[in-house]
Structure 1
Amino acid sequence: MLAVKVPKQEAEKARRKLIELGVLAKGYAIRREGEFILFPLIEPVEGFELVEADFERLEKRPHSYREVVEVPDEVRPLLPSSFDIIGDIAIIELPKELMPYGKAIGEAILRVHRHIKAVFAKGSKVSGEYRVRELIHLAGERRTETLHRENGIRLKLDVARVYFSPRLATERMRIFEKTRPGEVVFDMFAGVGPYAVLLAKKAKLVFAVDLNPWAVRYLEENIGLNKVDNVVPVLGDVRKVAGQLKADRVIMNLPKFADRFLREAMLSVRDGGVVHYYGFGPDGDLFSEHEAKIKTVARELGLGVEFLGERKVRPYAPRQFNIAIDFQVLK
């Protein structure tokens, strides 16, 4: 088979060039010969040393667990097309018709996604003051602690003891990009620190509060893990902290109940400071109810508000969305 032969130190540059030219043969393992790397070609290419070589074919791997899982045909259409991956743990939502086949589904996920080591099904909705859910073990290791990476930070957590959504990584980066160097940030419902630790890379100081002792325990560990020394973890009710500090930016990532804490948020932000408010809204009228509540609380406190932006964050339920409203508080 025709191949390009390049010195090892030039291999990555050559690989990118061959892909750009559309001549790199797919489905074959590259070869190493001493200090040289060989890339298989589909046709000759100029500017490289060309040789003849044999290459080992790569096993074609399925792209989705649905390609390999064995379930009856009548329930196959119910197989979810996606699931959450937190570190090396997969969490999938299965309808009751699929629960008898949970083990087969879990093993299929492990087979297709080699980096996943444990698979769980959602056993309940997120509930309680700690915002956690029951998990049902399907396959792989019987553990719920993992190390998750996103946005350049590492987060250690226990998926059975704390609330964490990997689907908010883009939203967290959006807030990071809006944060200015030197700001004081108040993360009202911090969890294990996905906002707090990330924003600490830019902010002067981050106050991170959570009611769940497990969340604060992992938050403290993540502060050290990411080598940030400007996060102040606080275990307790955010109502007892609010008003005792003045922040440039407040994060209210508690979409189900954030409206109940608007007073505390507004009392904790400086004149001209920004609040990032999260909630749930029905498709077709996502923001108006939340806007009205924000205006009402501001009026009761004798404050003004200016809405800076609104967006859909992600689907939450049929015709329901997790939404974000950014607003400025004027005193």
Structure 2
Amino acid sequence: MLAVRVPKREAEKARRKLIELGVLAKGYAVRREGEFVLFPVTEEVEGFELVEAEFERLERRPHSYREVVEVPDSVKPLLPSSFDVIGDIAIIELPDELMPYGKAIGEAILKVHKHIKAVFAKGSKVEGEYRVRELIYLAGEKRTETLHRENGIRLKLDVAKVYFSPRLATERMRIFKKTRSGEVVFDMFAGVGPYSILLARKAKLVFACDLNPWAIRYLEENIRLNKAHNLVPILGDVRKVAGKLKADRVIMNLPKFADRFLREAMLSVRSGGIIHYYGFSPEEDLYSEHEARIKAVARELGFSVEFLERRKVRPYAPRQFNIAIDFRVLK
């Protein structure tokens, strides 16, 4: 087929030019001949040396497991377009109609995404005081412990024993950017430390509390992994800790029940300090109910609040959102 022949030192510049002109033939491997590189082209191109050459066809890799999965056509429209990846473990939410084909779906995910080693389906909602869910094994390695990387930190965890959402990585980085050097931070519902470990890179001191002993066990391991020696893990009910420490910044990442712990958060923050509050809300009224509750608790304590930022963090369910409200407490 027709090809452009250029010196190796000019190859990248030539490649960009051919793409810009829309003449670079797709689906073929570039050839190298000594000090020259050959690019397949679809038509003659002025300003280049043209030759005839044979090229090896590239095998197109599927971009989605849905392209290779073997399920009946009747259920293909139900295949989810996305799934969570925690370390090298994939967790997918399947409707009941797809559960009989779980193994095939899991194997298709492994085939397309080589970095994934195990696939599970969500078997229940996040529930219980430890905020964990049942997982159903589909394919790959039969293990639930993994090492997850995000925002430059490493987090070891067991997806069956602790709560963790990879979808909050952007939100965690947002808080990191707001945190100032020298602050004391209180992470009220820390889990394995995705907020705490990250914020410890800036803060003077981080207190990280969780009720789940597995979460604290992994948090302690993550402290060692990331050399976060200014982080203090606390196992227990946050209500027994509140007020015994004073922080410049408080993280309330318990969106389903955070409103129940506003008193504890306000008692633990210094005057002028900031609380990052999370909740769930219907699309038609994202913030007003949560803000009314925040104001009411502040009044009961004789404090006042200043709202700084409101944002939708992510969709949670149809017409439901996980929201964030940042506010300052004045005592």
TM-score w.r.t. the length of structure 1 is: 0.90
Aligned pairs for 1:108-119 (under 5 A) are 108-119=108-119
How much has 1:148 moved relative to structure 2?
Answer: 1.0
**Residue 168 of structure 1 aligns to a residue in which SS?**
helix
C-alpha distance in 2, partners of 1:207/1:120? 33
C-alpha distance in 2, partners of 1:14/1:210? 57
Aligned pairs for 1:170-209 (under 5 A) are 170-209=170-209
CA 1:6/1:245 → structure 2, altered by over 3 Å: closer, same or farther?
farther
The answer to whether structure 1 residue 135 and structure 2 residue 135 are counterparts is yes
- Match for residue 125 of structure 1? 125
What number of residue pairs does the alignment pair up?
327
Q: Contact 1:213–1:235 (CA<8 Å) still a contact in 2? A: yes
C-alpha distance in 2, partners of 1:76/1:175? 39
C-alpha distance in 2, partners of 1:217/1:235? 9
Bigger mean CA offset, 182-191 vs 225-234:
225-234
How much has 1:56 moved relative to structure 2?
Answer: 3.4
Q: Deviations over 1:172-223 (max 9, x none)?
A: 1111111111111111111111111111111111111111111111111111
Q: Contact 2:88–2:116 (CA<8 Å) still a contact in 1? A: yes
Bigger mean CA offset, 21-30 vs 111-120:
21-30
**Residue 170 of structure 2 aligns to a residue in which SS?**
helix
C-alpha distance in 2, partners of 1:242/1:13? 61
Tell me the C-alpha RMSD between the 2 structures: 2.5
C-alpha distance in 2, partners of 1:58/1:97? 36
The answer to whether structure 1 residue 307 and structure 2 residue 303 are counterparts is no
C-alpha distance in 1, partners of 2:103/2:280? 33
**Residue 103 of structure 2 aligns to a residue in which SS?**
helix
- Match for residue 329 of structure 1? 329
C-alpha distance in 1, partners of 2:217/2:73? 46
Q: Contact 2:307–2:325 (CA<8 Å) still a contact in 1? A: yes
TM-score w.r.t. the length of structure 2 is: 0.90
Q: Contact 1:62–1:112 (CA<8 Å) still a contact in 2? A: yes
CA 1:263/1:139 → structure 2, altered by over 3 Å: closer, same or farther?
same
One-letter amino acid of the structure 1 residue matched with residue 159 of structure 2: V
CA 1:245/1:109 → structure 2, altered by over 3 Å: closer, same or farther?
same
The answer to whether structure 1 residue 249 and structure 2 residue 249 are counterparts is yes
Q: Contact 1:4–1:51 (CA<8 Å) still a contact in 2? A: no
Q: Deviations over 1:269-318 (max 9, x none)?
A: 11110000000001110111111110111001000000001111111111
**Residue 207 of structure 1 aligns to a residue in which SS?**
strand
Gaps of 5+ in 1: none
C-alpha distance in 2, partners of 1:60/1:155? 34
**Residue 310 of structure 1 aligns to a residue in which SS?**
strand
CA 1:135/1:305 → structure 2, altered by over 3 Å: closer, same or farther?
same
Q: Contact 1:92–1:120 (CA<8 Å) still a contact in 2? A: yes
Gaps of 5+ in 2: none
Q: Deviations over 1:29-57 (max 9, x none)?
A: 456778x79473547697x9999876533
One-letter amino acid of the structure 2 residue matched with residue 40 of structure 1: F
Q: Contact 1:15–1:39 (CA<8 Å) still a contact in 2? A: no
C-alpha distance in 1, partners of 2:214/2:21? 52
One-letter amino acid of the structure 1 residue matched with residue 180 of structure 2: R
CA 1:78/1:330 → structure 2, altered by over 3 Å: closer, same or farther?
same
Q: Contact 1:5–1:50 (CA<8 Å) still a contact in 2? A: no
Q: Contact 1:2–1:53 (CA<8 Å) still a contact in 2? A: no
**Residue 8 of structure 2 aligns to a residue in which SS?**
strand
Q: Deviations over 1:142-163 (max 9, x none)?
A: 1111111111111111110110
Q: Contact 2:93–2:121 (CA<8 Å) still a contact in 1? A: yes
CA 1:319/1:33 → structure 2, altered by over 3 Å: closer, same or farther?
same
The answer to whether structure 1 residue 284 and structure 2 residue 313 are counterparts is no
Task: Give the greater-gyration-radius structure (CA).
Answer: 2
One-letter amino acid of the structure 2 residue matched with residue 104 of structure 1: A
C-alpha distance in 1, partners of 2:46/2:206? 55
